[in-house]
Amino acid sequence: MNYRTRIIKRFALLSLIFHIPPILSFTKIGILFIPMLFWINIPVLWTGIARAMGEEHFKVREFGAMPQSITAYIVIISFWLLLSVILSLLSTKNC
């Protein structure tokens, strides 16, 4: 298996793992609110994107930031995809 194929396979696996909370949120199980909350708040609050984008895109409340627009969701998804790319590149370099 060549280098590019390993990167693509690891990227696909990592991006699937990182996007499990929104995928499972379609099942309407109440306890899945907590992983979804972490999925939103890790990229938004830890990096300061919520304050930078303002109230029209994110409302910061007691439990964290809540996305208010499609742009907000695009930023969150882009963060997790970028993290998947970085981790897949770093993990295949050593192999």
pLDDT at 24: 85
pLDDT 10s per residue in the chain (95 long)? 788 889 999 999 999 999 998 888 888 777 788 888 889 888 888 888 888 888 888 888 888 888 898 998 999 999 999 999 999 999 887 65
The four Cα atoms 5, 7, 13, 19 give a dihedral, to 10 degrees, of -130
What's the whole-model pTM score?
Answer: 0.85
How many structural domains is the chain composed of?
1
Domain containing residue 16: 3-93
Q: What b/e readout covers 28-37, taking b as 16+ CB neighbours within 10 angstroms?
A: eeeebeeeee
User: Phi, psi (5° rounding) for residue 35?
Assistant: -60, -35
